[in-house]
C-alpha cells in the first residue's frame, strides 16, 4: 500500500517543523533535546519551527506550565516562528474530523471498558453495534490488516500491523475530548507541518497517525524519532517524575550537554559561551546523521 511514504517535497512546500509539548511541567533535559533537534532541523532546512501547546488532557496539566515552557525555550534561544498555538482552540476541527470518519463508516462508537479489553488488541466488538450518541462511549477508528511502514532517519525502517498491535484505536475519548492521535494529525495538517521530530516513546504513534492522515486525506509528514533520554535506572525523564527543570544559570550547560547527547561535537570553549552563541554554532554544524540510532540513550548528569 502507498500510505506510508511522506508527501513528496517540492519547491512550494518549504520545511515546517513543530515542538508540541504537553503543559504538564517545565522543560527538562528530555524535552530540551526534542526542542533543540527540531529547531536545528528546521533552521538547517531554512524552514519554520512552530510551538504548539498540547493542552487537551486537563487532568494532567499543571497551571503555569505553558508559560514555563516558553520561558525556558526563550532562555535557550530556541526561538519559535509564528504565534504559539493551543490544541484546545481547535477542538471543533478535531470534532469535525471525528464526525467525518464516522459518517464515512470508518469510525464507530464503542462502549467497552478498558478493563473488559485488557491488554489484548481491541477485537472490534462494537464495530457493527451502532451505539447511540447519548450513552457513555468513546469513538474508535477501524484499522485493516495492511502493514504500515515508515522510514525513520534515526530509527530505520519500521513496520507495523495495526490490527494485531492494538486493533481499532480510540480517536475520541469517553471524557468527550479528542484523543492525542486525532488532535495531532488535524493540527499538524492545519499548520502545514512537513516533518515531525519527537522522542521514540512516540514511535508507535506514527503508524496510527499515518493511518488517520490517509483516511482523512491529509498531507503526510515525515517522522524523525530521537532516542528517549533515560536516567540511570533506564526510566524516561519526565515532568511527572520531576526531572530537574532548566534554570537561567544552567541553560548554556544544558544546551552543550544536549548537543553532545545528540551526537554533535561542540568545542569545549562553547561551555562558557552564552546560549545565543551555542545556538549559532549548532545551526552551522548540525548533523542529524550523528544522532545515536537508539530507542533510548542515557541522559548526562548535569551540575547544579
> Closer to Zn ion at the Cβ: 169 or 281?
169
Q: Mark 123-162 with x for binding to Zn ion (rule: CB under 5 A) and - for no binding.
A: --xx------------------------------------
> Closer to Zn ion at the Cβ: 110 or 255?
110
Name which position in 4, 20, 37, 162 contacts ligand GLU (CB under 6 A): 20
> Closer to Zn ion at the Cβ: 110 or 222?
110
* Whether the Cβ atoms of residue 279 and residue 142 lie closer than 8 Å to each other: no
C-alpha cell at 268: 569545549
Q: Does 110 help bind Zn ion (rule: CB under 5 A)?
A: yes
> Closer to ligand GLU at the Cβ: 76 or 184?
184
Q: Does 22 help bind ligand GLU (rule: CB under 6 A)?
A: yes
Name the binder of 42 from ligand GLU, Zn ion, none, CB < 5-8 A by kind. Answer: none
Site stretch for Zn ion (CB under 5 A), options 27-35, 111-119, 163-171, 296-304: 111-119
Q: Does 117 help bind Zn ion (rule: CB under 5 A)?
A: no
Q: Does 202 help bind ligand GLU (rule: CB under 6 A)?
A: yes
Site stretch for Zn ion (CB under 5 A), options 19-27, 28-36, 117-125, 183-191: 117-125
From the list 103, 138, 146, the residue with the least C-alpha distance to 117 is 138
Total number of residues binding ligand GLU (CB under 6 A)? 7
Name the binder of 21 from Zn ion, ligand GLU, none, CB < 5-8 A by kind. Answer: ligand GLU
Distance (Å, whole) CA 290 – CA 297: 13
C-alpha cell at 209: 497517525
Three-state SS for 96?
helix
Distance (Å, whole) CA 46 – CA 118: 46
CB of 57 to ligand GLU, least distance (A): 9
* Whether the Cβ atoms of residue 51 and residue 227 lie closer than 8 Å to each other: no
How many helical (H) and strand (E) elements, i.e. helices and strands, does the chain have? 8, 12
* Backbone phi, psi, residue 12, to 5°: -85, -10
> Closer to ligand GLU at the Cβ: 215 or 278?
215
Three-state SS for 268?
helix
Distance (Å, whole) CA 224 – CA 150: 10
* Backbone phi, psi, residue 58, to 5°: -45, -45
Distance (Å, whole) CA 224 – CA 196: 6
C-alpha cell at 46: 531554512
> Closer to ligand GLU at the Cβ: 174 or 202?
202
> Closer to Zn ion at the Cβ: 126 or 243?
126
Distance (Å, whole) CA 41 – CA 53: 20
CB of 278 to Zn ion, least distance (A): 51
- Binding positions for Zn ion, rule: CB under 5 A: 110, 112, 125-126
- Binding positions for ligand GLU, rule: CB under 6 A: 20-22, 54, 184, 198, 202
Amino acid at each position: 500500500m502507498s500510505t506510508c511514504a511522506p508527501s513528496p517535497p517540492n519547491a512550494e512546500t518549504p520545511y515546517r517543523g513543530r515542538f508540541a509539548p504537553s503543559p504538564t511541567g517545565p522543560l527538562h533535559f528530555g524535552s530540551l533535546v526534542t526542542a533543540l533537534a527540531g529547531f536545528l532541523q528546521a533552521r538547517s532546512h531554512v524552514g519554520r519551527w512552530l510551538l504548539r501547546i498540547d493542552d487537551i488532557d486537563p487532568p494532567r496539566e499543571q497551571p503555569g506550565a505553558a508559560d514555563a515552557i516558553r520561558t525556558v525555550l526563550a532562555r535557550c534561544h530556541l526561538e519559535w516562528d509564528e504565534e504559539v498555538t493551543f490544541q484546545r482552540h481547535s477542538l471543533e476541527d478535531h470534532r469535525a474530523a471525528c464526525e467525518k470518519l464516522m459518517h464515512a463508516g470508518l469510525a464507530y462508537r464503542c462502549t467497552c471498558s478498558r478493563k473488559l479489553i485488557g491488554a489484548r488488541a481491541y477485537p472490534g466488538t462494537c464495530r457493527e453495534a451502532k451505539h447511540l450518541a447519548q450513552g457513555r462511549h468513546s469513538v474508535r477508528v477501524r484499522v485493516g490488516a495492511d502493514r504500515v511502514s515508515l522510514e525513520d532517519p534515526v530509527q530505520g525502517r519500521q513496520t507495523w500491523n495495526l490490527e494485531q498491535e492494538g486493533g481499532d484505536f480510540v480517536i475520541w475519548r469517553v471524557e468527550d475530548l479528542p484523543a492525542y492521535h486525532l488532535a495531532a494529525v488535524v493540527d499538524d495538517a492545519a499548520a502545514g507541518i512537513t516533518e515531525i521530530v519527537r522522542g521514540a516513546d512516540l514511535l508507535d504513534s506514527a503508524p496510527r497517525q499515518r493511518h488517520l492522515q490517509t483516511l482523512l486525506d491529509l498531507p503526510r509528514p515525515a517522522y524523525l524519532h530521537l532516542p528517549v533520554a533515560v536516567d540511570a535506572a533506564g526510566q524516561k525523564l519526565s515532568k511527572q517524575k520531576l526531572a530537574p527543570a532548566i534554570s537561567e544559570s544552567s541553560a548554556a550547560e544544558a544546551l552543550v550537554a544536549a548537543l553532545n547527547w545528540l551526537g554533535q561535537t561542540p568545542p569545549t570553549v562553547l561551555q562558557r559561551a552564552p546560549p545565543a552563541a551555542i545556538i549559532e554554532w549548532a545551526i552551522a554544524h548540525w548533523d542529524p546523521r550523528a544522532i545515536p540510532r537508539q530507542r533510548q540513550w542515557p541522559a548526562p548528569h548535569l551540575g547544579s
